[in-house]
Structure 1
Amino acid sequence: MSIRTRFAAFLAVLAAVAISLAPVAADATRPTPGARIDVHPRTGHYEGRDTFSRHIKFDYGHGQITNFRVEHTNFPPATVQGTLWHRTCHNNHCTLGHWRSNHHVNGHWNITTRPWGDVSFWALFSP
């Protein structure tokens, strides 16, 4: 078998695999049946814990995160766009996050002057 024939056979197998995987890749992006697609952040007070069990809380309303605290450390306010806010920093205190549902928020915070940035992930819920 010549190199051209082997290469053509290889391309045929590769194309067949790609075609067979295409529906799987398309299904991976579809929401599961009954899944909630629309997320509308709920106005109110959110509380939870980070990965090191530190108490975290903030208030949300009118597109703004305010009173963000980790234990006794204050963080800057942040503007929410849709269901997320981008990295927001002031005096080396940074947060970012997004709503997973109307009342469940995930994100992370860090203080950039600490070793390794002290990044901590968290999940908060409104009552």
Structure 2
Amino acid sequence: MSIRTRFAAFLVVLAAVAISLAPVAADATRSTPSARIDVLPKIGHYEGRDTHHRHIKFYYGSHGRVVNFRVEHTNFPPAEVQGAMWHRTCHNNHCTRGHWTTDTHVNGHWSISTSSLGDVAFSARWISH
């Protein structure tokens, strides 16, 4: 087999691999919350429910923090927001994390590490400034 034939075969294989990996790379950027640069969290009060229908509420302020996060009557620590998300933030075994899916809608999880509940998903919407 000549060098040209080998090189052509190599290019065909390389192109096939590149084409097969393109959807994987596109999905990877879409699935990460931090990849959403078009979301600008709206300042104000948010309320919602978790998967067990518990009441969730918090405030997001111009200072870039989620504060007064509550599940029913249980308080959780403030969290620094980076872009349109906050990473897992804990204090005294109470933890939250979340990300904005639109300017006024947040999905996330809360947990109490001493509880058997594990991570509990929640969804909240902006209600007022």
Equivalence map 1:86-125=2 (5 Å)? 86-115=87-116, 117-125=117-125
Uncovered stretches (5+) of structure 2, i.e. residues with no partner: 1-12, 31-35
Equivalence map 1:1-127=2 (5 Å)? 18=17, 20-25=19-24, 28=27, 38-61=38-61, 62-115=63-116, 117-127=117-127
Secondary structure class of the residue paired with 1:126: strand
2:9 aligned partner: none
1:11 aligned partner: none
Q: 1:124 to 1:20 in 2, by over 3 A?
A: same
Provide the C-alpha distance between the structure 2 equivalents of 1:66 and 1:30, rounded to a whole number of angstroms: 29
* Root mean square deviation of aligned Cα: 2.7
Identity of aligned residues (%): 56
Structure 1 residue identity aligned to 2:119? V
Provide the C-alpha distance between the structure 2 equivalents of 1:109 and 1:102, rounded to a whole number of angstroms: 20
Q: 1:85 to 1:24 in 2, by over 3 A?
A: closer
- How many equivalent pairs are there? 112
The TM-score, its normalising length taken from structure 2, stands at: 0.73
1:18 is displaced (CA, Å) by 3.3
Q: 1:78 to 1:22 in 2, by over 3 A?
A: closer
